[in-house]
């Protein structure tokens, strides 16, 4: 019997970036597990990145509902964000700064709350037509989790919440982010009504259970990100033979700051100038304005910035590298995260240099023998690791990935099956609670 699921995700093609992949690949492969998805997303997302090439991956028989948002264009949000970070006291800047600060406190928990009126109308309209559906909502942004409350209240359907990141982390490190007690209250409210919860890492799951003791552990499951075998058809481009290329592919922002790595790179090139000539470093992706100053005067270090590229080209950029760089700075919550790109790096067989605090990413890299781990604040260790890698490259002994350890668990097809089981569990929970409530009401009638 086919299950109907409404996948609610603000981050969905043509939105670009790593956050899109989890729900896109899920929608692509859920039908193989007896689940028929319908997608609810935004019609004109207020985001910095788009990737229209991803639209081709949406199965043609999947209905995509697109609801408009009341958010301003991303350029206006960026102007406001820039004003809050400047020390300028011009009249225009002061006005923009005050408006931006007011907006941050009104738009709780995030600016995408302005999408909810149209999204709620579209969701409830669909549920009236398809009442036997399960609703799966993936955040961030976490304002859309509030749609779960509406779905429970007005449509009485099972609701599953998917945490791609932690609410507490995104409220402290993302652009235009804000945090506060209201976030915890909102998070508790939506979790109390959810029939199931999925997290992207086991660390997320454990911390969620520790923070909210009313959650049933068996209803909270972790399903990691992964790789899609269809993205790796054909022969990938080979790295050059005359120099070692290190590539970082993704967005550089506060959580993924490159400052520690760049300090280590500078020290390595000062100490070993001849070896340093054999090492190029490429940053492929968006660098937010607050991190741009870290790249000043890095061109002589062999650093190039190539900007955002579509997903297929991002994989090619990783393939054309000897070493893939993974970055997580020492900020609250980073210990529970691993960037989604790590799975594509391992699928390509490229060595990983993980500049990260101890935590989920460090354990993953070590467990799968995918490379080496250094702390973001340890300039000496970063420089030593770079020297060792380039020395191995020059001698022809630079090894690729050490080999898989249960690597097939990260196949997106297999993960879609895990999601299908989580949806089935939530459906059983919701139906069981309804039967229990019905029995109580029936018993109360004389």
pLDDT for the residue 438: 39
68-83 tens-digit pLDDT: 999 988 665 555 455 4
Is pTM beyond 0.85? Reply is yes
The CA–CA distances, whole Å, from 219 to 36, 119, 160, 361, 444 equal 22, 26, 10, 25, 29
pLDDT for the residue 35: 98
As a residue count, the chain comes to: 446
pLDDT for the residue 402: 57
pLDDT for the residue 96: 44
For residue 151, give the DSSP letter: I
pLDDT for the residue 442: 30
Strand pairing class (220-222; 244-249): unpaired
Write down the CATH number for the domain with range 230-395: 3.40.50.2000
pLDDT for the residue 141: 94
Token pair 């799968």 in the structure block, residue: 368
Contact predicate 23/138, CB 8 Å: yes
Q: Which of 175, 227, 182 is nearest to 21 (CA)?
A: 227
Q: Which of 148, 193, 203 is nearest to 334 (CA)?
A: 203
pLDDT for the residue 309: 95
CATH of 3-226+412-444, one of 3.20.20.70, 3.10.450.50, 3.40.50.2000, 3.40.1180.10: 3.40.50.2000
The first and second tokens of residue 331, run together, are 């900020």
80-106 tens-digit pLDDT: 455 445 555 665 555 444 544 444 544
Contacts of 343 (CB under 8 A, 6+ apart): 224, 225, 226, 227, 410
The first and second tokens of residue 307, run together, are 């900007």
The strand pairing partners of 325, in sequence order, are 353
pLDDT for the residue 83: 46
Residue 86 Rama label (left phi>0; alpha psi -120 to 50; beta): beta
Q: Which of 284, 224, 296, 298 is nearest to 256 (CA)?
A: 284
Domain parsing of the chain, residue ranges: 3-226+412-444, 230-395
The first and second tokens of residue 86, run together, are 């400047």
pLDDT for the residue 173: 52
Contact predicate 348/341, CB 8 Å: no
Distance (Å, whole) CA 340 – CA 394? 30
Q: Is 366 exposed, middle or buried (0-12, 13-18, 19+ CB in 10 A)?
A: middle
Rounded to 5°, angle at Cα 206 from 425 and 113: 75
In this chain, the answer to whether the domains covering 3-226+412-444 and 230-395 adopt an identical fold is yes
pLDDT for the residue 396: 92
Q: Is 181 exposed, middle or buried (0-12, 13-18, 19+ CB in 10 A)?
A: exposed
Distance (Å, whole) CA 276 – CA 98? 47
Strand pairing class (220-222; 196-199): parallel
Measured distance between the N- and C-terminal CA atoms of the chain, rounded to whole angstroms: 38
Q: Which of 22, 19, 70 is nearest to 226 (CA)?
A: 22
pLDDT for the residue 445: 28
Q: Which ranges of the chain have pLDDT less than 50?
A: 80, 83-84, 95-97, 99-103, 105-106, 176, 435-446
The first and second tokens of residue 21, run together, are 């992949």
């Amino acid at each position: 019997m086919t299950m109907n699921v409404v996948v609610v995700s603000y981050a969905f093609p043509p939105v670009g970036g790593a956050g899109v992949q989890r729900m896109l690949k899920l929608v692509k492969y859920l039908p193989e597990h007896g689940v028929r998805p319908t997608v609810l997303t935004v019609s004109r997302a207020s985001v910095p990145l788009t990737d229209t090439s991803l639209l081709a991956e949406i199965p043609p028989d999947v209905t995509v509902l697109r609801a408009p948002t009341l958010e301003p264009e991303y350029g206006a949000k960026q102007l406001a964000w820039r004003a809050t970070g400047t020390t300028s006291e011009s009249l225009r800047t002061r006005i923009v700064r005050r408006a931006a600060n007011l907006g941050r406190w009104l738009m709780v928990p995030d600016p995408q709350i302005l999408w909810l009126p149209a999204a709620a109308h579209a969701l409830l309209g669909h549920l009236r037509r398809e009442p036997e559906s399960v609703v799966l909502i993936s955040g961030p942004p976490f304002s859309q989790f509030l749609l779960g409350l509406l779905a429970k209240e007005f449509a009485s359907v099972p609701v599953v919440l998917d945490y791609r990141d932690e609410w507490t982390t995104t409220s402290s490190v993302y652009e235009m982010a804000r945090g506060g007690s209201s976030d915890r209250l909102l998070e508790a409210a939506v979790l109390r009504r959810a029939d199931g919860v999925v997290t992207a890492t086991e660390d997320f799951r454990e911390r969620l259970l520790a923070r909210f003791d009313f959650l049933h552990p068996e209803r909270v499951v972790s399903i990691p990100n992964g790789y899609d075998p269809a993205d790796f058809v054909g022969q990938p481009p080979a790295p050059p033979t005359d120099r070692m290329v290190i590539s970082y592919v993704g967005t550089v922002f506060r959580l993924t700051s490159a400052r520690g790595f760049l300090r280590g790179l500078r020290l390595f090139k000062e100490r070993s100038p001849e070896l340093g000539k054999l090492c190029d470093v490429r940053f492929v992706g968006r660098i937010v304005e607050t991190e741009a100053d870290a790249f000043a005067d890095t061109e002589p270090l062999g650093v190039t910035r190539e900007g955002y590229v579509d997903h297929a080209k991002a994989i090619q950029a990783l393939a054309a590298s000897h070493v893939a760089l993974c970055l997580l700075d020492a900020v609250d919550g980073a210990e529970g995260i691993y960037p989604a790109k790590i799975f594509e790096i391992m699928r390509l067989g490229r060595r990983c240099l993980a500049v990260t605090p101890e935590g989920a990413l460090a354990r993953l890299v070590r467990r799968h023998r995918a490379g080496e781990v250094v702390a973001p604040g340890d300039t000496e260790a970063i420089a030593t690791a770079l020297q060792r890698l380039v020395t191995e490259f020059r001698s022809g002994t630079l090894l690729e990935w050490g080999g898989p350890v249960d690597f097939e668990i990260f196949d997106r097809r297999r993960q879609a099956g895990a999601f299908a089981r989580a949806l089935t569990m939530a459906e059983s929970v919701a139906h069981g609670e309804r039967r229990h409530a019905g029995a109580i009401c029936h018993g109360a009638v004389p």
